[in-house]
């Protein structure tokens, strides 16, 4: 482990912008570790961000997310685009190698200088995904990625969080694993911009597609001008359906730009990012009941009945600024 003193932020940012994978990796490690130097990093990166297109991929374990990511990378590289891949595992405290070790399917791209692959754990972070992922996206964006694929394991809330981070959200299902009713229950019908039934070589794919289309048609996205999420079939393992998928992603992008939707989503993303940073800063200034912050002082008053929790909360807020 290097000590913090070894980090030369301006040099690191310069190297990352010049395309050094090592520099990109080190900057993302600073994000992951919530390093105090992040503030300086983000200030240096800010003028170079806003270019990358962010595509979120989510779905249950085993549906074929990493195989599909690999297929997409092949297609995007064929178009000459630089691609960043951020694999976020919200349930894992491990990062780097631990998760990447599983990602053999991405090994095809590991030596391609136009592809950055990085996994990130977010458990244990104050603010979790909401705090760390946007900052890692900024690093990849400033490093010149044209497209960033953010892959998350579908575990409840994280899917919805990922949808908030991406311009376009791709939801993956597999035959038999996710019929329409299950999808509706999991709340993924609302977040998907493009649905993919992968493993279409398996029995039941057409039924899953029909089911999903039906469920989507029952939703509230039927007004003219609204985006109707397409439901596609792929066999990611054989790269079947890649062109149709790229085309659907392009259509969604064009629709967003037409409607000002990309700008709206990005504003929402920035607002959540600022909120997450502000909340984490406020929490650390507040201290805790065992420390010597303002929270500890007012807690004793509340316990003794000398003040009520609302008045105490007001004192806390007043004491923070």
Kindly state the smallest distance separating residue 63's Cβ from ligand GDP, in Å. Answer: 5
Taking the complex as a whole, the smallest distance from the CB of residue 73 to ligand GDP amounts, in Å, to 13
Measured CA to CA, the distance from residue 61 to residue 307 in angstroms comes to 50
Closest approach, Cβ 186 to ligand GDP, in A, equals 15
The yes or no reply on residue 138 touching ligand GDP (CB under 6 A) is no
309 is a site residue for ligand GDP (CB under 6 A): no
- Minimal distance in Å, beta carbon 75 to ligand GDP? 15
Report if residue 99 touches ligand GDP, rule: CB under 6 A: no
Answer yes or no whether residue 201 interacts with ligand GDP by CB under 6 A. yes
Q: Does 199 bind ligand GDP (CB under 6 A)?
A: yes
Residue 269 in the binding site for ligand GDP (CB under 6 A): no
Binding of ligand GDP by 251 (CB under 6 A)? no
DSSP secondary structure string for all residues of 186-222: HTHHHH-SEEEE--TTSTTHHHHHHHHHHHHHHSS--
The minimum distance between CB 103 and ligand GDP, in angstroms, equals 8
* Pairing state between β 83-89 and 115-121: parallel
What is the rounded CA–CA span in Å between residue 63 and residue 188?
Answer: 14
Q: With 0-12 CB in 10 A as exposed, 13-18 as middle and 19+ as buried, what is 48?
A: middle
Is the Cβ of residue 15 or residue 60 nearer to ligand GDP in the bound state? 60
Residue with Cβ nearer ligand GDP (249 or 256) = 249
Closer to ligand GDP by Cβ: residue 64 or 134: 64
**Touching ligand GDP, residues 216-235 (CB under 6 A):** 235
| 272 makes contact with ligand GDP (CB under 6 A) | no
User: What ranges make up the beta strands (E) of 218-286?
Assistant: 231-233
246 vs 286 by CB, closer to ligand GDP? 246
Helices then strands, counting H and E runs in the chain, come out as 14, 7
Q: How many residues line the site for ligand GDP (CB under 6 A)?
A: 16
- What does the alpha-carbon distance between residue 153 and residue 120 come to, in Å, rounded to a whole number? 12
User: Looking at the chain, how many residues does it have?
Assistant: 321
Residue 105 interacts with ligand GDP (CB under 6 A)? Answer: yes
Angle 124-127-132 from CA coordinates, rounded to 5°: 85
What is the footprint of ligand GDP within residues 10-69 (CB under 6 A)? 59, 61-67
The three-state secondary structure class of 7 is coil
Cβ contacts of residue 3 below 8 Å, gap of 6+? none
Residues 177-196 that bind ligand GDP (CB under 6 A): none
| Sequence-distant (≥ 6) Cβ neighbours of residue 233 within 8 angstroms | 196, 197, 198, 200, 205, 206, 209, 241
**In DSSP terms, which residues pair with 205 in a beta bridge?**
none
CB nearer to ligand GDP: give 120 or 143.
120
The binder of ligand GDP chosen from 198, 205, 208, 233 (CB under 6 A)? 198
Interacting span for ligand GDP (CB under 6 A) from 38-46, 162-170, 199-207, 269-277: 199-207
Which residues contact ligand GDP (rule: CB under 6 A)?
59, 61-67, 105, 198-199, 201-202, 235-237
């Amino acid at each position: 482990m290097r000590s913090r003193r070894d980090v030369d932020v301006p040099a690191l940012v310069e190297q990352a912008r010049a395309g050094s994978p090592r520099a990109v990796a080190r900057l993302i490690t600073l994000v992951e570790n919530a390093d105090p130097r992040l503030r300086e990093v983000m200030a240096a990166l800010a003028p170079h961000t806003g270019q990358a297109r962010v595509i979120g991929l989510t779905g249950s374990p085993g549906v074929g997310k990493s195989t599909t990511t690999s297929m997409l990378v092949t297609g995007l590289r064929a178009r000459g685009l630089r691609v960043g891949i951020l694999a976020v595992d919200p349930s894992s405290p491990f990062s780097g190698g631990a998760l990447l070790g599983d990602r053999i399917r991405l090994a095809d791209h590991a030596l391609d200088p136009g592809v950055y692959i990085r996994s990130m754990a977010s458990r244990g972070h104050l603010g979790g995904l909401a705090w760390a992922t946007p900052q890692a996206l900024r690093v990849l964006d400033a490093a010149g990625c044209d497209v960033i694929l953010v892959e998350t394991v579908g575990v409840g809330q994280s899917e919805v969080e990922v949808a908030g981070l991406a311009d376009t959200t791709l939801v993956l299902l597999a035959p038999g694993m996710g019929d329409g009713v299950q999808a509706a229950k999991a709340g993924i019908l609302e977040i998907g911009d493009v649905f993919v039934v992968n493993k279409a070589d398996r029995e039941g794919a057409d039924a899953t597609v029909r089911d999903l289309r039906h469920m989507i048609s029952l939703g509230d996205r039927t007004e003219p001008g609204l985006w109707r999420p397409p439901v596609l079939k792929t066999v990611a393992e054989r790269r079947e359906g890649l062109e149709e998928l790229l085309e659907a992603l392009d259509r969604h992008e064009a629709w967003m730009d037409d409607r000002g939707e990309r700008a709206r989503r990005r504003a929402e993303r920035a607002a959540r990012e600022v909120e997450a940073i502000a909340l984490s800063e406020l929490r650390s200034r507040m201290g805790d009941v065992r420390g010597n912050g303002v929270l500890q002082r007012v807690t004793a008053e509340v316990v003794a009945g000398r003040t009520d929790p609302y008045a105490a909360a007001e004192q806390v807020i007043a004491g923070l600024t």
